Amino acid sequence: MTQVDAATRRAGGELAAGAHAMTPMLVAFAPFGLLVGAAVAASESPAAAWLSTWTIYGGAAHLAVLDVLQRDTGVLGAALVGLLINARMVAYSVSLAPYWRESSVGSKVAAAAVLTDATWALAHNRDEASARARRRFYFGAGVTLWFGWPALVTLGVVVGRWVQEVPVAALLPSLTLGTLVVPQLRTRPGLAAGAAAATVAVFTVSMDGGVALALCAAAGATAAALVQRRTA
C-alpha cells in the first residue's frame, strides 16, 4: 500500500467514524424531527418554514419561531426568540475555531453549514484526534445529520401529528443530548460546568429559553474556568 493509499483510507475511516457516531443520534432525534415537521405543516407558509430547516438548522429554535408566529406576536418577537435560542451556535463555532485555522474558506463555510448541537458535541468529545482527523470526523457526522434532519422534518410534515400523542417521544432528545454531555463530566472543569449549568437551569426554568440558556452558558463557563485555574 502506498502512503497516498494509507492516507486516503485514514481519511475515509474518520469520515465513516463520524457518520457512524451520528447514526444513533439521528434515530433518537426522529420524534423531535417529526414534531418540527408537524409544526412546519401547520405554519402559515409551509414552504418557507420547510426551507428554513437548512438555515435555522436547530429544532428548538425552529419550533419556537413557528410557535410564536402562530400566536401573532409579530416579526421581531418571533425573530428574537429564534435568534436567542440559536445564540449557542456562536459558542460552538468559537470553540471549533482552533481546528479550522489552517483550512480554506470553503471548508469553513461547509463546517458552519453543518454545525449544530450533536455535530459539535461529537467532535468536541473526540479529544485524542489531530485537527485534521477531527475535521474529517466532524464532516462525517455533520453531513449525515445535514441530510438526515431535513429528511425527518419532511417526513414529519406528512406524519408528524401522531408523535404529539406519544409523550415518551418528547424525552428522547433530552436523553440523546445527555449522552453527549456525559464524557465531558469526567474532567473536573467539565463536572463544574455541568453542575453550575444544571443548577442555573433549574432556577431559570420558568424564564424564556434564550435568556435562560445564556445564563447557564455563562455560569458553566465561569465555574469551569475557576476550577481549571485552581487545579492548574
Site for other proteins in 127-166 (CB under 8 A): none
Q: CB burial class (10 A; 0-12, 13-18, 19+) of residue 155?
A: middle
Min. distance of Cβ 81 from other proteins in angstroms? Answer: 8
Rounded CA-CA distance 30/35 in Å is 9
Residues between 62 and 91 that touch other proteins (CB under 8 A): 65, 69, 74-75, 78-79, 82-83, 86-91
Min. distance of Cβ 120 from other proteins in angstroms? Answer: 6
Min. distance of Cβ 206 from other proteins in angstroms? Answer: 9
Options 34, 35, 36, 96; binder of other proteins; rule CB under 8 A? 96
Q: Which stretch binds other proteins (CB under 8 A): 9-17, 133-141, 145-153, 199-207?
A: 199-207
Nearest residue to 187 (alpha-carbon basis) of 218, 231, 217: 231
Rounded CA-CA distance 162/34 in Å is 9
Min. distance of Cβ 184 from other proteins in angstroms? Answer: 5
Number of residues counted as binding other proteins (CB under 8 A): 91
Q: Which stretch binds other proteins (CB under 8 A): 3-11, 145-153, 154-162, 205-213?
A: 205-213
For other proteins, the closer CB: 1 or 94: 94
Q: Which stretch binds other proteins (CB under 8 A): 1-9, 108-116, 132-140, 151-159?
A: 108-116
CA atoms within 13 A on the CB side of 194: 15
Q: Which stretch binds other proteins (CB under 8 A): 1-9, 11-19, 147-155, 172-180?
A: 172-180
Options 98, 130, 188, 230; binder of other proteins; rule CB under 8 A? 98
Min. distance of Cβ 180 from other proteins in angstroms? Answer: 6
Options 49, 133, 141, 157; binder of other proteins; rule CB under 8 A? 49
List the grid coordinates of 120.
Answer: 459539535
Min. distance of Cβ 60 from other proteins in angstroms? Answer: 7
Per DSSP, the residues of 96-160 read HGGGGTTS-HHHHHHHHHT--HHHHHHHHT-TTS-HHHHHHHHHHHHHHHHHHHHHHHHHHHHHG
Tell me, rounded to whole angstroms, the distance of Cα 196 from its chain centroid: 20
Rounded CA-CA distance 65/71 in Å is 10
Q: Which stretch binds other proteins (CB under 8 A): 11-19, 144-152, 153-161, 196-204?
A: 196-204
By 3-state DSSP, what share of the chain in percent is helix, strand and coil, each rounded to 5? 85, 0, 15
